[in-house]
Amino acid sequence: MKLFAVVCLLLLLPFVYCKKDTGESNLPTSYLSISDIWPVRDTVNTTIKLIVTVAPVSNKTITVNYTTEEGTAKANIDFVPVAGTLTINPGSVTGEVAVQLIGRKLMSSTQNFSLKLSNAVNATLKVEKATVFIENPGFDYRLVWSDEFTGTTLNTTNWNYETGGGGWGNNELQNYTSGTNNAYIENGNLIIEAKKERIGSNAYSSARLTTKGKRKFTYGKFEIRAKVPATTGLWPAIWMLGENIDQVGWPACGEIDIMEAINKETPSKTYGTAHWGVNPASHLSKGGYYVLPSGHYSDDYHVFTVEWDANSIQWFFDGNKFYTVNKGEITGGNNPFNGDFFLILNVAVGGNWPGSPDANSIFPQKMVVDYVRIYQK
């Protein structure tokens, strides 16, 4: 019997030894992250490197697939597209993916493309996409701030929730909420969702986000790529107010509407407007509108832009200028357009301008914001 036990033990020893020698440990799961970069393009081809970070370090070989995705920068025109598998050896804290920028000098704004990670082995993806912002020498503007909405939650170092009902001065019907009921991040986009649901005494809910007290700007190029919702009674808007509104009130603080869509008129029409005046009784405004040649704004993403300096405010739709207010046209006692302004993104329901939803209105409705980018000279 003793001899049998000894033989069994001897037979098991190789398996015990192999198990011990595999190098397995109780290290926690490793996470992969990739960061945005801002390279400057020259007239010659330049190779850039995007860094993939491992934390905590792993004792296993990690692999992850990668591929480039076009943005305003185009494959084989602005950069050489790449796709493949990155291998990160045990104990390494980073890996690199090289991409070549195609050399040329452009009189154009900052361009962008992305590198996306997928199918990680022996690690979990934490930040799966990085944006490459190509700075083009010779262009008047430089990117000074952006929110690409690449995380999993709204970045509250940039944005505030403004909450409540009460009509918001326009007899609106929604109650603005905080949290993820009406504003959330999904697939690299900010979603502001208007719902038909009772919140307090209001029959609808939505969200209104501002950068007040956190991000403010005097002059610049304000560029927002978004898909605008469309249904009767909806009032989506991308706009700005003077940072001093609490001291001087509206409209003395000034207002710049980058985009307003009033769906009772047509879902293919958006407005750009400047508002000012010493007090509400002396309110003045100038603005214009853009109408799509075909289709609706809700069909696809579009880029809404304002270029604002000491001499004028100009509105653009997908790069096409459609209205200008010059400094000499801002008369009537005050000119608030020489100070700091903050951004607002919201979807209102009802109100004096769009009117109320009707039996044909469809809810919920979403405004999908791909990015907000601010450039200055």
Side-chain half-sphere of 139: how many Cα atoms within 13 Å?
21
Burial class (CB in 10 A: 0-12, 13-18, 19+), 176: buried
The contacts of residue 177 (CB under 8 Å, 6+ apart) are 161, 163, 183, 199, 205, 206, 207
Options 260, 265, 307, 329, the catalytic residue: 260
Contact indicator for 310, 338 with CB cutoff of 8 Å:
yes
Contact indicator for 110, 142 with CB cutoff of 8 Å:
yes
H helices present in the chain, as ranges: 2-21, 245-248
Side-chain half-sphere of 146: how many Cα atoms within 13 Å?
25
Options 148, 172, 193, 255, the catalytic residue: 255
The contacts of residue 69 (CB under 8 Å, 6+ apart) are 113, 114, 115, 116, 129
Coil, strand, or helix at residue 126? coil
193 catalytic residue (yes or no): no
260 catalytic residue (yes or no): yes
Tally Cβ neighbours within 10 Å of residue 191. 19
Query: Any idea which residues carry the catalytic annotation?
Result: 255, 260
